[in-house]
Amino acid sequence: MALSILHRVMGCALSVGLLLFTYWLVAAATGKAEYETARAFFGHALVRVLLIGFSFAFFYHLLNGVRHLTWDTGHGLERKAARLSGWVAFLGALATTALFWSFIFLRSGGAA
Amino acid sequence: MSMRSPIGRVLGLGAAKEGVSHWWAQRVTSVALVLLGLWFVSALLRMPTFSHEFVVAWIAVPLNSVLLLLLIGTSVYHSQLGVQVVVEDYVTHHGLKIVTMLLITFAHVAVAALASFAVLRIAFGGAG
């Protein structure tokens, strides 16, 4: 199915996302001023869109990863089952991403 | 000189020359990351704010420091294993493949060191 390459693409995206995660931790460890700079960076509209993209990559790779692990046990490999679980992973990731950000925005009024 | 017989050296190694160890490590880190990933997402959702004071205090909680270190180590290792497969599949030139893998490995080790040091610095009270 065409979605299978997505697992790799999202995995590679998450490797890049690790850099942002590291930047966040290093900024927090460096000091308040540096952390505020990082916070302004993460709060920028374009970066925010990027973060939403990374969170989708995270949830998709997580759900589809569970799908792969299930396949490794020999289950769910039939054409129909595999197609269905593929859609569950994709749509599930979309829904989880939407839920995650609505929680974050509702909590902080967007001023994360 | 090795005391192992030629057949003993190659049994189970296959075309990758390393047996199933890469495949297995990818699976082990996957399972760990399902747990650690869900923990981190739930932790983010439970944070009332992402202010410096709160985030530093949160990282300094021993359980959070340890889980963050595990998350860093496991995700960096998992990333290294995954990117390695992508490079092996798409970079066909042998020399370029070696150089790319070298740079990718350096980058992964650097990220792991930086992120871990940041967590440890906060955990041991070195961050203001």
A32:B121 CB<8 A: no
Mean pLDDT for back-to-back runs of 10 residues, chain B (128 residues): 75 72 94 98 96 97 98 98 95 95 97 98 83
Which chain B residues touch A102 with a CB distance below 8 Å? Answer: none
In a domain, A45, yes or no: yes
Total domains in the fold of chain A: 1
A18:B114 CB<8 A: no
B33:A36 CB<8 A: no
Q: Report the CATH number at residue A94.
A: 1.20.1300.10
B55:A26 CB<8 A: no
Check: CB of residue A36 under 8 Å from CB of residue B52: yes
Averaged pLDDT score across all residues of chain A:
93
Q: Which residues contact B52 (CB under 8 A, 6 or more apart)?
A: A28, A32, A35, A36, A39
- From residue A108, give the alpha-carbon distance in Å to each of A24, A38, B58: 18, 17, 17
Mean pLDDT (whole number) for A43-67: 97
- From residue A36, give the alpha-carbon distance in Å to each of A43, B62, B114: 10, 24, 19
At residue B51, φ and ψ (nearest 5 deg) are -65, 160
Pick from B40, B42, B52 the residue to mutate for testing the A interface (most A CBs within 10 Å): B52
Q: In order of start, what are the domains of chain B with their CATH numbers?
A: 20-123 (1.20.1300.10)
pTM score of the predicted model: 0.90
Q: How much is the ipTM here?
A: 0.92
Place of tokens 């961050």: B127
Q: Side chain identity at A89, as an amino acid letter? A: A
